[in-house]
Chains A and B, each alone.
Chain A
């Protein structure tokens, strides 16, 4: 287990800091490590914005087409597609940021340097989550501005309730990110297809673009186990009626808590398993 201990070596020199200040410093170091990646790489900056903007263009024009083709009472509902797309992107980017932080270390053969550093696993995870939150925040603001400019869609028409719904989607993204990071630790590159594919496995059951009632009963059972379903149902209600019942928060909070704890436990378990098997230092080769 990772212990909280301060080290004061009688032999001088190393002075590892086990306090909360030391933790903050290490989290900041890892956060900077990921930020620096974008400093001088236009390709990486481009990669953050490219897919969300492309998605917005596609869903935006689909919305415009449907609005023109449908009778006016239904046309108003179609605008939800843009809000749903932006909200799904928050979940997806959150998941990707956690996983890509780990992938980055494997790609650059830097993983061992971090594993032999006095860095706690949770400090690394927190840095990845913060990096993900920053990326999501920047992309969401850009998408909101573009949606307003191109389609006259105002994300803030959802009001302040949009913020906790977005945060809940981000947290669920982090939980899935921990699950996929665990798969990467366990199976190495062999798990790469799963890492990119798992969010799309969740998407149909999250009722991103349609109400829960659209799904067949067996699929509704699965959908009710996902916090994202309640978040998208809530978002639809807010855009349609201006508010959502408070009852949606019980499943959102409890399921997010459950999945985040499960994600953390899974990630730690897989880390220990990979270490026991001697896979940790060989992750990039498998």
Chain B
């Protein structure tokens, strides 16, 4: 694998928040390649959000190196950010704008060419066309999540970070969104870094998973291989074991 095929390269990443007793992330190293879907898993407080924030340049890690497409998201943010986007359940869109205004503003911020047709295409794909004149605040949580995904795909990113993208979607819509994201990912050879507590989704959606606990990487590999290696029937079972004991016993 050559450097140019790396979307994300995290080496020895550590971060401790001021006043915290333990490290939020501790000596974490991993890579994400172009065209790969990687799941970032772990119980609450495992360090998933801190890792995502470090990749997005939202925090300066205590130590370690983060590179996105070979550039630092901290010091070369204008080389990194146009090629990256993120949709998170914890980040809202301006509720006091209508759907079209919201997307138009972000299209301008990302210098999207042919913005009008791009917006129409995304609204249609995510079944939001009829809501284009609606105030964001009046959308259901599922509709808002789909709008966040539209916004996250506006600039045709090469790396997409998804934080619980299907949490507020009903099973039918969640399945549709997963299929749509898979299709877009194949079309564009997109790298996706995905966090979710829906283990079934992770098993089917991700090519590879990173299992974190208390800021450390416990296991890494394709979902099937991880299950075999740790003698587990499902990721759900494995997740509960990690959350309860804080460790994984390698049987391979």
Binding site for B on A (CB under 8 A): 1-5, 7, 9, 11-18, 22, 25-26, 28-30, 32-33, 36-37, 40-41, 108-110, 112-120, 272, 275-278, 280-281
Instruction: Give the residue name and chain of the A residue nearest to B108 (CB).
Output: A29
- Minimum distance in angstroms from B14 CB to a CB of chain A: 12
Contact A26 B78 (CB under 8 A): no
Known: A5-B79, A118-B109, A278-B17. 19 other contacts (CB 8 A): A3-B76, A4-B78, A5-B78, A14-B155, A26-B108, A26-B109, A108-B94, A109-B90, A112-B58, A113-B91, A113-B151, A117-B110, A118-B78, A120-B78, A272-B60, A275-B59, A275-B74, A276-B60, A278-B24
Instruction: Give the residue name and chain of the A residue nearest to B148 (CB).
Output: A113
Task: Scan B162-198; emit 1 where CB is below 8 A from any A CB, else 0.
Answer: 0000000000000000000000000011000000000
Contact A116 B96 (CB under 8 A): no
Contact A108 B111 (CB under 8 A): no
CA distance A148 to B19 in the complex (A): 58
CA distance A7 to B90 in the complex (A): 29
Contact B96 A108 (CB under 8 A): yes
CA distance A26 to B82 in the complex (A): 13
Contact B78 A110 (CB under 8 A): no
Contact B97 A112 (CB under 8 A): no
CA distance A37 to B135 in the complex (A): 11
B106 to chain A: which residues have CB within 8 Å? 29, 113, 117
Q: What are 11 A-B residue pairs whose CB atoms fall within 8 Å in the complex?
A: A7-B83, A13-B156, A15-B111, A17-B111, A22-B111, A25-B108, A29-B108, A30-B109, A33-B97, A117-B106, A275-B74
Contact A275 B60 (CB under 8 A): yes
Known: A29-B109, A277-B18. A7 touches B85 (CB 8 A): no
Q: Which 6 A-B pairs have the closest CB atoms?
A: A13-B156, A16-B82, A29-B108, A278-B59, A17-B111, A109-B92
Task: Scan B81-113; emit 1 where CB is below 8 A from any A CB, else 0.
Answer: 111111010111111110001000110111111
Binding site for A on B (CB under 8 A): 15, 17-18, 24, 49-50, 53, 56-60, 74-79, 81-86, 88, 90-97, 101, 105-106, 108-113, 135, 151, 155-158, 188-189
Instruction: Give the residue name and chain of the B residue nearest to A2 (CB).
Output: B78
CA distance A37 to B77 in the complex (A): 28
B101 to chain A: which residues have CB within 8 Å? 32, 36
Instruction: Give the residue name and chain of the A residue nearest to B86 (CB).
Output: A116
Instruction: Give the residue name and chain of the A residue nearest to B4 (CB).
Output: A10
Contact B97 A36 (CB under 8 A): yes
- Minimum distance in angstroms from A23 CB to a CB of chain B: 10
Known: A7-B78, A14-B82. A33 touches B111 (CB 8 A): no
